[in-house]
Amino acid sequence: MLYGGSEVNQKLVLGHPSGLFVMFFTEMWERFSYYGMRALLVLFLVTSVIDNGWGWERGEALVLYGWYTGLVYLTPMLGGFVADKFLGFKKAVVLGAFLMTLGHASMALEVFSNVFFFMGLGLIILGNGFFKPNIASIVGQLYTKVPEKRDAGFTIFYMGVNAGAFLGILLCGYIGEKVGWHYGFSLAGIFMFFGMLQFYFAQGIFGKIGEFNKDIEDVDDAVEDAIDEVKEDVEEVIEKISKSKVVKDRLVVIGIFTFFTIFFWWAFEQAGGSMTVFAKDYTNRVLEGGGALTFKVFNTILTVVPMMIITWVLSLLFRQTFSKYALSNILLGTSFVIVWGFVIWMLIREFSNEVTEVPASWFSILNSFYIIVFAPFFSKIWESKYNPTGPVKFAIGLILLGIGFAVLSFGSMNIPLNAKSASVSMVFLVLAYFFHTMGELCVSPVGTSYVSKLAPIKFLGLMFGVWYFSSFIANLMAGITGSYLDPIVESYGMSFFFMIFTIIPCVAGLTMLVLNKTIIKLMHGIR
């Protein structure tokens, strides 16, 4: 069996094993819930009490945002360790999804008590720790025999991540801002529940992959592993030195990638913080007449086209897996029917209004939209002769991120010092998200793929936890840095604030280019 797991997993969808797309949709609903709630968090906190928000100061909201999004990436170290030692990847994913479902349900009760809000944040943080590293570990093990397809597989998986982010931000953000905050939080929880159920009832497709203390994929692999153990006993003395050096060097590479990814996410995660504030208070979001109609048409295309693409992928998965995993498919199909209902309701509601006020959360969907559109293109490049090395991909990604902030810096040049509001064109945010997304496609899925290739299998879950630890540092730094938005704007201007996020990622990217050959040598043949 080329891809391991069950026979059903050998049935291909878009040239990859069916199990990849079970992961695709599981991760999609998890990201729906996470990004849907994240899109609302800062907006809810800074909105006045009269408008049913909490009326926090910007700095306070951005610090909480930094701690929340940071801790979401710290707990994977715990979740990865527990999965490696006690639960296995599959059980950890189910447990994590269940905890996050409870968390979103608790946040929906914030209208009754603030305690529910913070309790919900805590449950989501803990649940994500069990979910995030272990679902990526399962994806990595699908490609044990065909490592050359792993980068492409992770890029497709990442498309699922962003499909969920796109839908979550679009629907939860819209409902939260236009209807009620707790309704937006509730919607996030509903689809997390669907994601948990569809994975639970389809997990048999992975066979032995992801089970506790099972590094093998099927019976044939069990025999091969037994033979390998005998060989390792005989060759142990010969391999001790060389093997330890190879492992050590590869772990150094993971460390280098982990360090540089901090600079990427530190800047990138301004999206849910200072960039959301910029969209809310400094961007012209009120459209009338022809402008409003143009936006409505564009928004309809922006919404319906990705939905059609994802639904088409869903139909391909149904063809390959429905006969064996009907209940999982039915749950997945039901969730899509519900989403289509919300999408149609939203579009009809918007077309009935003459004046359109674009939700501040709407701009965040551009990141996910661009990924859905361009991820297949990047996947093809990574499989072609033009595939650059990992360090070069990182360098390109960091520089593109810097260019996106340069666009925002240019667009903010006319905002006066200490301004609390402005009316900057939406075009600058649209372009900034484009460059940020192109950079993300060069860094995030590629980095995840390299961790799965470089880390020893016995510590794979823990290594993914370490990988996500960098995001804890980056997100916390992003929130803290963003909390200085008002003082920096007061003294130096908004343009200077965004220029900070232009210079640092570009310098980090150029440094990666200088280290390219050294890093390749340390990988000892891993490409």
Asked if residues 317 and 328 have their Cβ atoms less than 8 Å apart, the reply is no
Which pLDDT score, from 0 to 100, does residue 232 have?
53
Instruction: Give a yes or no: residue 75 inside a domain.
Output: yes
Chain center to CA of 22 = 17
Residue 56: how many other CB atoms lie within 10 Å? 18
d(CA 99, CA 128): 8
Q: Percent of the chain at pLDDT above 70? A: 94
Cα(150)–Cα(427) distance, integer angstroms: 36
Q: What CATH number is associated with residue 506?
A: 1.20.1250.20
Q: What pLDDT sits at residue 451?
A: 86
483-499 pLDDT, tens digit each: 999 999 999 999 999 99
pLDDT of residue 222: 43
Using the predicted structure, report yes or no on whether residue 239 has a pLDDT greater than 70. Answer: no
The mean predicted confidence, pLDDT, of the chain is 88
Q: Is the pLDDT of residue 233 over 80?
A: no
Domains in the chain: how many in total?
1
Q: Say if 527 falls within a structural domain.
A: no
Q: Does 391 fall in a domain?
A: yes
Q: What's residue 217's pLDDT?
A: 41
* pLDDT at residue 372, as a whole number: 75
Strand, helix or coil for residue 283:
strand
Say whether pLDDT at 238 is over 50: no
Instruction: Supply the range of the domain harboring residue 166.
Output: 8-522
- Structural domain includes residue 327: yes
Q: How far apart are CA 310 and CA 325, in angstroms?
A: 19
Specify the pTM.
Answer: 0.81
Answer yes or no: is 288 within a domain: yes
Query: Tell me, what's the pLDDT at 76?
Result: 81
Examine residue 2 and state whether it is found in any structural domain, yes or no.
no
At residue 224, the pLDDT reads: 52
130-139, 320-329, 333-342, 504-513: segment of lowest average pLDDT:
130-139
For 27-48, how does the pLDDT look when each residue is reduced to its tens digit (9 = 90+)?
Answer: 999 999 989 988 899 999 999 8
pLDDT tens, position by position, 432-443: 999 999 999 999
Residue 284: predicted pLDDT: 94
pLDDT in tens, 251-270: 899 999 999 999 999 999 99
Report whether pLDDT(88) > 60: yes
Residue range 137-176, pLDDT digits in tens:
888 888 888 877 887 888 788 788 878 988 999 999 999 9
| Phi/psi at 492 (5° precision) | -125, -20
Tell whether 477 is covered by a domain.
yes
Q: How far apart are the first and last CA of the chain?
A: 23
Is residue 1 a part of any domain in this protein? no
pLDDT of residue 231: 53
Most confident of 5-9, 164-168, 514-518: 514-518
350, containing H or E segment: helix 326-351
